[in-house]
Amino acid sequence: MLVKIGDWLDERFSWREVWEAVFMRKVPHVNWFYTLGSATLFVAIMQGVTGILLTLYYVPTPDHAYDSVVYITTQLPFGWLIRGLHHWGASATVVLTVLHLLRVFYFGAYKYPREATWITGVILLLVVIGFGFTGYLLPWDQKSFWATTVGTQIAGLAPFVGDWILRIARGGRDISAVTLARFFGTHVWILPATLAALIGIHLYLVIRIGITAVPKKDE
């Protein structure tokens, strides 16, 4: 019965070809450094899952944001675990992404024909940093408030477009409820959509072009 269902689906979706292309492809001899990409993907998925769970109770308003975070951490069953995973997972994502890019650069895996794979990886790093910056304000405590004040002020020092960037980031001249709403919307809608699209392109390029083997020392 299951074989017939599998054949029926394969005739319409060619899922066996996809399975073989993704999971049965030949991989050159590699080492543990090559697992950094998979580790980064795993942590990114964990961030998405824990982030969705947090949005069920988080309230993105100045009057209730901090109280909702306290409620999640102290009263919600396993809320401390979910928030802890999300909090430390954010740092782990940045660290793993940087290490992954350093490995690619060190082994020369960014060269032809993998330039596009490298470019999407660099853009992914920028998106990950954007996640960290926008998410830092969401607890709406003193530390996050003043850190965002300093961060947006630094962005506002850019030549010619600094004041425009500052107003766009804050939604005005000062940090306000508009800033919190803007950061929350960017954190849960714009950046996740961008991240998902870039990961899809990045994985497609990895599967289509393949990965490099560990460079051999000249004898």
Contact 97, 128 (CB under 8 A): yes
How far from 211 is each of 32, 77, 95, CA to CA, in Å?
14, 43, 21
pLDDT digits (tens, 9 = 90+) for 56-101: 999 999 999 999 999 999 999 999 999 999 999 999 999 999 999 9
Rounded CA-CA distance 83/53 in Å is: 9
Rounded CA-CA distance 30/38 in Å is: 13
pLDDT at 14: 87
Per domain, the residue ranges of the chain are 31-209
Rounded CA-CA distance 193/206 in Å is: 20
pLDDT digits (tens, 9 = 90+) for 155-182: 999 999 999 999 999 999 999 999 999 9
pLDDT level of residue 41 (50, 70, 90 thresholds)? very high
HEC assignment per residue over 187-206: HHHHHHHHHHHHHHHHHHHH
Residue 161: exposure state from Cβ atoms within 10 A (0-12, 13-18, ≥19): exposed
Instruction: Report which secondary-structure segment, H or E, holds 76.
Output: none
Q: Taking CA 108 as the corner, what is the angle to CA 104 and CA 113, rounded to the nearest 5 degrees?
A: 95
* Residue range 31-209 in CATH 1.20.810.10: yes
Nearest to residue 36, comparing CAs of 85, 107, 88?
A: 107
Let me know how long the chain is. Answer: 219
pTM above threshold 0.85: yes
pLDDT level of residue 3 (50, 70, 90 thresholds)? confident
> Taking 70 as the threshold, does the pLDDT of residue 218 lie above it?
no
> Taking 60 as the threshold, does the pLDDT of residue 104 lie above it?
yes
Rounded CA-CA distance 177/63 in Å is: 9
Contact 200, 193 (CB under 8 A): no
